[in-house]
Amino acid sequence: MKLKALTLALLSTYATHSFAEDNTEKTSSSPALKSEGSLLESSISKDLAILIGTKVWYNTWNLPIAFGSSGKPSDSDMITSFKSNTKLSPIPQLGFKFKDFMLTTGYFAKTKYEFGRQTIDQYYLTSDLGLSPALAAITKNPNGTYNVTQGIISTNSDTSLAIKVPIIISPTAERSEFDLNFGYYLTPNVALTLGYQQIDRNYTYLFSRPAVNYIFINNQNLNEGISPASSERVDLKSKGRGAALGLTGSVPVGNDLSLYGSMAFGMLRTTYSGYTREKYTSPYYLGELGVNYTLPASMIKAAIFSLGYRFQRYEFKDFLKSGQNATDTTDGFAASINVVF
């Protein structure tokens, strides 16, 4: 007896999915398979299948953060990557298949990430610290050593020397994503998809500067003092919209098991608030490899269990004024359970 088993593969920004049909011949005398055959015969349409389920992604996010010599994102001249804590993100999904056509959608539920703290040396002008220009500036470290920045200044009173100061950055971010995909089966096990991708993110960056103890030489007079500690909160948002083309498929390996793989490439338009340049061209890549286990059931067509590894790459072209690109990546193991009616 032939059993039509529907297997699941993922394809999209964070949660698009598609059916891949396995027409493998199966023989068994178990009641489960016999009842499965009768259900297929008595269903409204043997060509129609509906999939409902959820995926959980155990993932880590590598986030690029741009900021400048003043410690502010609006004056960006360098990019530093921050790695998040590992999160378990739910991705509910829904799919419809009729003959060789399918429609799938997925929603990456809003998830908050924390990226720890990182200290980066920044250079502040003496005028930014409330100091007047000097022939030499010396910063005093807590351990008693000194950082010395020397230089010759002009008679212009606006000219200042730079002092190296450690800046502590504490980022957090929230993200949610949505996709809608249409697909067509080139073969019973391989489908081509075209979809809409939506990526929404909110970022909060806390910049803090410790108090700066200094020794200050001006007109050959030695002055010592302190520039008070300061902190700043920066809230940013980004929205990515665009289309992605994908390919997904599965290969049966026997005993209700199949290997699946999917990949997608898209070109998104990302709007970023808070930086001097607000719109970016964003190439987008997604892939997943794993194994499916299809379990026939008496009340439904099948239950599908999947375990795989999922990765995403999201780029920002010319992220800085200098033309430097930024790369955002997320990856980790993913597991899903889906039922097919």
Q: What is the DSSP string of 129-167?
A: TT----SEEEEEPTTS-EEEEE----S-TT---EEEEEE
Tell me what pLDDT residue 22 has. 38
Question: Which amino acid is it at 285?
Answer: Y
Q: What is the DSSP string of 188-229?
A: TTEEEEEEEEEEEEEEEEEEEE--EEEEEEETTEEEEEEEPP
Pick the CATH number of 5-116+182-198+236-340 from 1.10.1740, 1.10.20, 2.40.128, 2.60.40: 2.40.128
Structure tokens at 308: 């795989």
Full pLDDT tens readout for the chain, 341 residues? 333 333 333 332 333 333 553 333 333 333 332 222 323 233 346 789 999 999 999 999 999 987 664 444 545 567 888 999 999 999 999 999 999 999 999 999 999 999 988 887 766 655 555 555 444 455 556 665 545 454 433 333 344 455 667 788 899 999 999 999 999 999 999 999 999 999 999 999 888 877 766 555 555 555 566 667 788 888 889 999 999 999 999 999 988 899 999 999 999 999 988 655 678 889 999 999 999 999 877 778 889 999 999 999 999 888 777 778 889 999 999 999 999 98
Structure tokens at 213: 């103890």
Within a 10 A sphere around the Cβ of 111, how many other Cβ atoms? Answer: 20
Q: Please state the φ and ψ torsions of residue 35, each to the nearest 5 degrees.
A: -70, -35
Region class of 12: left (phi > 0), else alpha (psi between -120 and 50), else beta: left
Tell me what pLDDT residue 180 has. 96
Distances (CA, A) of 324 to 83, 280, 320, 327: 20, 12, 5, 10
How far is it, in rounded angstroms, from Cα 295 to Cα 163?
Answer: 66
Distances (CA, A) of 212 to 7, 139, 227, 250: 61, 7, 5, 61
pTM of the model: 0.76
Beta-strand ranges (E) seen in the chain are: 5-10, 17-22, 48-67, 78-83, 87-98, 101-114, 118-125, 136-140, 146-150, 162-187, 190-209, 212-218, 221-227, 230-254, 257-273, 279-295, 302-316, 326-340
